[in-house]
Amino acid sequence: MIRLFRASNFRCLEKVELNFGPKFNLIHGANASGKTSVLEALAYLGRGKSFRGASTANLIRHGEGEFVLFGEVGDGGDGGSSRPVGLRNSRDGLEVRVAGESAPSAAALAEALPLQVIDPEVHNLIAGGPELRRRFLDWIAFHVEHEHLLHWRRFRRALKQRNAALRSRADESLIKSWDAEFIDLAAHLDESRRRVLELSLDGLREHGQALLQTDLGFEYRQGWNSDKDLRAALAEGLERDLQMGSTQSGPHRADLKVSYDERQARKLVSRGQQKLLASAMILAATDTAQVAQGRPLLLLLDDPAAELDRHSIERLMAAVAALGCQVIATSLEEDALDFPEQPAVFHVEQGRVCSAVK
Ligand SMILES: Nc1ncnc2c1ncn2[C@@H]1O[C@H](COP(=O)(O)OP(=O)(O)OP(=O)(O)O)[C@@H](O)[C@H]1O
Ligand SMILES: [Mg+2]
């Protein structure tokens, strides 16, 4: 969780400082006042990248050369320890510091400030392609299993090397020489995704019931023919891989099939239902990670009221409140969201935080 937060020259924010409450926080303001900018800055501090996929050049305030973000983050315990996390990003690159030490990668940010985001694009987790759903599972795995990141990085490298060999039309024996490592790392990824899905399954179903009053189903598709082991699938697909210049079988092609009342969710549910379904998945993932880490995570809600009817907003906010995580939400109106207790309230106007009432 985060208490003190400072941002300078991030999107429309010239210089802001906010002291967040440990539980519920509301940032409200008119359109284009800077609400999403504050949440995006927070998410950037926990990920080292934008949740909207925006480029660094677009995130730096117009006319400036760099943005700087800083937070005091803690584990949520009463009077518990807190440590400074900061980053500076210019067109020359990203510089990260955690607890006074320079950090080699953005993974140190995710470890220091684990967070999830529900924003107006969240329905893409259901409506979009498989990559977001793979990322969803990998996010849980990263926060639950220590070795996941290492395996994932090594797998990506093995995949790149195999693809490069395919494209250079290397000798078949050279391509196959990558296969042993590729298969070994694929097995690690595959197993950890299956484990964390299993671990989250009750929570996924419970949140599905809470938000949509329906049965949700989740089925992991491993990314290659389920009748075969990966070695056989790679051997069988070699001709096709050579033609396409990339590996078509493996966990990088996996998907998570989501069903709603036993029907395929992606094709059948409305946009509002997609948002609720995706939110149910994110809340369940947050819950799994919180339990595994034994500390509250940060949940960022960007305009959660958008596209939801009154009852749906109430159900969503009740489920959010029950999680026990730190919540920072935005909305146009001050009273649009039902928090179970008075949140810390911030009003934003033209990129400035005008008031903080506790
Ligand atoms: N790099 C940048 N430099 C300066 N201003 C920017 C930059 N990027 C975005 N902006 C501006 O920041 C303003 C605030 O955008 P933001 O998305 O934070 O608003 P918001 O309060 O979330 O609005 P809405 O209610 O419409 O979602 C916009 O006017 C936008 O044009
Ligand atoms: Mg916004």
Does the residue 172 lie in any domain? Answer: yes
Pocket of ligand 1 contains residue 347 by CB under 6 Å: no
Contact 35, 334 (CB under 8 A): no
**CB of residue 48 inside a 6 A radius of ligand 1:** no
| pLDDT tens column, 113-162 | 999 999 999 999 999 999 999 999 999 999 999 999 999 999 999 999 99
Over residues 196-223, the mean pLDDT reads 96
Domain-located, residue 49: no
**Residue 78 scores a pLDDT above 80:** no
The answer to whether residue 351 is domain-embedded is: no
Identify which of 139, 47, 140 has the alpha carbon closest to the alpha carbon of residue 85: 47
Ligand 1 pocket member 353 (CB < 6 A): no
- Return the pLDDT at 354: 82
The whole-number average pLDDT for the span 297-323 is: 96
pLDDT at 79: 62
Nearest protein CA to atom 19 of ligand 1, as residue: 32
**Domain assignment of residue 250, yes or no:** yes
Nearest CA to ligand 1 atom 9: 11
Q: Ligand 2: distance of its center to the CA of 34 in Å?
A: 7
From 133, 124, 294, 322, select the one nearest 209 (Cα to Cα): 322
State the residue range of the domain holding 218: 123-294
Q: Is residue 202 part of a domain?
A: yes
Q: Is 36 in the pocket of ligand 1 (CB under 6 A)?
A: yes
Q: Is the pLDDT of residue 356 over 60?
A: no
Torsion angles phi and psi, residue 99, rounded to 5: 50, 45
Nearest residue by C-alpha to atom 17 in ligand 1: 36
Q: Is residue 183 one of the residues assigned to a domain? A: yes
The residues pairing with 101 across neighbouring beta strands, listed in sequence order, are 98
Nearest CA to ligand 1 atom 25: 31
Q: Is the CB of 29 under 6 A from ligand 1?
A: yes
Query: Is 19 inside any structural domain?
Result: no
Distances, alpha carbon 116 to alpha carbons 57, 290, 301, 339, in Å: 24, 11, 9, 18
**Looking at the domain assignment, is residue 75 inside a domain?**
no
57 Cβ inside 6 Å of ligand 1: no
Residue 192 in contact with residue 141, Cβ under 8 Å? yes
Nearest ligand to the CA atom of 41: 1
**Average pLDDT, integer, range 293-309:** 96
**CATH number of 257's domain:** 1.20.1050.90
Ligand 1 atom closest to 348 (CA): 21
Ligand 1 in contact with 11 (CB < 6 A)?
Answer: yes
Domain count along the chain: 1
Quick one: average pLDDT of 211-230? Answer: 95
Average pLDDT over residues 69-81: 82
306 secondary structure, DSSP code? T
pLDDT in the model for residue 84: 96
Write down the pLDDT at residue 7.
98
Instruction: Identify the band that residue 9 occupies on the pLDDT scale cut at 50, 70 and 90.
Output: very high
Is the C-beta atom of 243 inside 6 A of ligand 1? no
Question: At 67, which helix (H) or strand (E)?
Answer: strand 66-74
Q: Hey, whose CA ends up nearest to atom 24 of ligand 1?
A: 31
